[in-house]
Every structure is written in structure tokens, then in C-alpha cells.
Amino acid sequence: MQEPLLGAEGPDYDTFPEKPPPSPGVRTRDGALQNKRLFLATFAAVLGNFSFGYALVYTSPVIPALENSSDPDLHLTKTQASWFGSVFTLGAAAGGLSAMVLNDLLGRKLSIMFSAVPSAAGYALMAGAHGLWMLLLGRMLTGFAGGLTAACIPVYVSEIAPPGVRGALGATPQLMAVFGSLFLYALGLLLPWRWLAVAGEGPALLMILLLSLMPNSPRFLLSRGRDEEALQALAWLRGAGADVHREFEQIQDNVRRQSSQMSWAEARDPHMYRPILIALLMRFLQQLTGITPVLVYLQSIFDSTAVLLPPQDDAAIVGAVRLLSVLIAALTMDLAGRKVLLFVSGYAMGWGPITWLLMSEILPLRARGMASGLCVLVSWLTAFILTKSFLLVVNASGLQVPFFFFAAVCLVNLLFTGCCVPETKGRSLEQIESFFRTGRRSFLR
């Protein structure tokens, strides 16, 4: 196929203008949104990530408390503690597997709302636990909810956001997850472990209330033939006075060309499998950096080191640093670009928020629901293996062995970023998808 020219006309190529016009609802000078509805819809969705971050690190203050519990039914051995910490990731893997179906069956918004059901049930089980099985089941249910939201929320946010601010809004899922973790660490200084579980119910219930008032993704509505509802949703998201017809026509044209579900034969087409493979490897490598076991056992890690502050205070400080780092990433992602932050920043500024955003940006529309669930499944199965084995390796060989391994993975991530990850800053989802169809190399530079 002939190499497409910058700004060339045609169904595949006019999505690559040399200077993309400002997106509807975005100011040309500073990229700030002209309406607040998009922020509200994003906030409603990412409350699910707040619950996810809260649930992920719930064990950090709880494991030390239960290891010292005088109740024989709740006293945890080292092996039981490793299961209590890691079973969340098995639930998250199951949630990602479910998202492969629910994301396209119910839609992004309803799938996110559905996640509140297992989340609330899981916290209730842990709050009233009288045995290990209730703790494990509750932990698995909150993990299921987290895996479902991890697959659905980035897709929803990327599909409702215009290109000029998609980076900033795409960082909000990770931002809220970090904020949820910090909130848990802070409450852990004040509340006993049962009340920590009770407090976890609030964000999920608030998410249902707010998200029920928000529109669904216009792209999902168009894929279901609900064109009028999709236009109304896009107009609501872009605000009064915004001319959404050009954007709507581009989305509509892309959806019509991909109206059927992807077949297994099509999965062998490079423009389908390349972005899916890149997204899968990003999620796999992100987990291999060791972030999940470090966060799950953070207070226990500090217990085993000669630090001056109490372990629970150290955990709260780590949460605050992560929150600040993700805030910086959110503010700079649409200016510096995705690849630059992946190269020069640590986890919280780079491989934390950006891999979730890139996953939702590069996956083709026809496979977006299924492939995002597959990415989460791979991610959390990897996290389970690492989390389950982490304490065993530390007890046998010390902290240095897993941390040297995590450092080596970070070097591999740099090579992967340079060779395989495209820059998506300032591009619409249709433009990104057109790149993988045409294979135009200049898009990567």
C-alpha cells in the first residue's frame, strides 16, 4: 500500500492532519475544557478506581493486625497471610475475564455500575468476618469488582474524552486508585480493621448514584445502532454551543466500518493483533515491576526494615508520594507525551497511569471490550503469581532478591517502550486506529 501523505484525503488518511483541529469542547490556547459535564462523567466513573485502590491495599494494615490477633479463628499464619494478600488478584483476573463479555454486552457504563455489587458484598463479608473463609471470599469479591472496573473505566473515559485532554483525563483512573490507597493508609491510622471494611462501602455506593445520571459512551451507543442517543450523549458531554457534528460523523463512519464483531480469522490481521499484543505486553510488564506485591505488603515490608518512623506512617508517606506523582503525570501527559513519561519517570508517573491509558487508546474498536478484559486478565494473573510468591521468597532469601528482579524488569520496559509503544498524544481514537491500518511510520516519531 502506498505510504499515506500527511493530511491526505480519504477514509483512512484524512484522520492524520498535520495540525489537528481543536477538539469540540476544548479551548485552542490551553486545552482546558469549556464545559464541566465531561469532568463530572469522568469523576463518576473513576470512583470505581478509588474503590479499587482502597481494596488493593486493604491488607497492608490488616495483615499485621490479624497476625497478632488473639482470636484463633482470625489469627493468620505466614501462608494464610500470603493467600489473604494474593487472592484479591485472582478475583481481579476473574473480573477482567467477565469484562471481556460485559463490556460489550452491557456497555461500559452499566458494567462499571455492576461492579459495585460484588464490591459491597465483599466489604460486608470482611467487616463481619468470623473465619478465614469470609476474609478470603470478601477479598476475592472486591478483587472481582476491581478487575471489572480496571477493564471498563479506562475504555469509558477514553471514549468520552476529546483528544486534547484525553491524556489528562486518562490519568484520572490511576490518580483515583492512588488516592483510594492513600485514603486507606490514612484511615488505617485511626480505625480498626473491621471499620476499614465498612468505610469501603461508601465510594461504591456514591459511584452508582452519580454514574446513573451520566450518559453512556457515544461510540458504544453507535455500535448498538442508537444513533440519536449517541448524538445526544456527545452533545451533552461537549457542552452547550459546541459543534459536535463533525466529530459525530467521524465516530459514526468508524463504527459503521467496524459494525460486526471481530472474527478469529481477522485476529490474524496485523492491524488487529499488533495493538492488542502491545497492550497485553504493557500490562504484563507493568505487573512485573512488582507494584502489586509491594503495595499489598507495604506495611509488612517496612516492618522488616530498619526505618525510623512507624511502618503505618511510612505506608501513608508512600501513598502521598504516589498521589503527587500521578498528579504531575496527569498535568504533563498531554504536553510531554506518553512515551517521554514512560522513559523518564518512575511507576506512579509513567508505567502506572500511562499503560492503562494507552491500553484504552490503541485497542481497535471492534475488539476494545474483549481485548481490554483480556489485558486485565493477563495483568492480574501475573500479579497473583508475584503476590503469592513474594512473602515466600522474602522469607527464604530476603528483600533484595525480588527487588533486584523488579529493577531488571524496569530495564526491559525501557527497551520495549522505545521499540514498540506508539506516541498517541493529540490523536483521536480514530486517528490511532487508522495508523495501525496504514502502518505509517511517521506517526511513531
pTM for the model stands at 0.72
Answer yes or no: is pLDDT of 242 > 60.
yes
- Would you place residue 2 in the very low, low, confident or very high pLDDT band (cuts 50, 70, 90)? very low
Q: Read off the DSSP letter of residue 26.
A: B
Q: In the structure grid, which three cell numbers stand for residue 423, read together?
A: 506516541
CB 263: neighbour CB atoms within 10 A?
A: 11
Cα–Cα dist 159/102, whole Å: 16
Q: What is the pLDDT of residues 10-34, one digit of tens each?
A: 344 343 343 444 444 444 333 344 5
Give the Å distances, CA to CA, from 309 to 35, 225, 296, 299, 318: 45, 58, 19, 11, 12
Alpha helices (H) in 212-268, listed in sequence order: 218-223, 227-238, 245-257
Task: Work out the average pLDDT over 423-436.
Answer: 79
The pLDDT of residue 18 is 39
Contact 299, 385 (CB under 8 A): no
Cα–Cα dist 424/243, whole Å: 24
Q: What is the pLDDT of residues 165-212, one digit of tens each?
A: 777 787 788 888 888 988 998 898 888 889 999 999 999 999 999 999
Residues 6+ apart with CB under 8 A from 389: none
3-state helix vs strand vs coil in the chain, percent to 5: 75, 0, 25
Answer yes or no: is pLDDT of 395 > 80.
yes
Mean pLDDT of the chain, nearest integer: 80
Name which of 10-19, 44-53, 221-230, 270-279 the model is least confident about: 10-19
Answer yes or no: is pLDDT of 44 > 90.
yes
Q: What percent of the chain has pLDDT over 70?
A: 85
Answer yes or no: is pLDDT of 6 > 60.
no
Which residue in this structure is represented by grid cell 477514553?
158
Q: In the structure grid, which three cell numbers stand for residue 82, read together?
A: 500470603
The pLDDT of residue 7 is 37
- Would you place residue 262 in the very low, low, confident or very high pLDDT band (cuts 50, 70, 90)? low
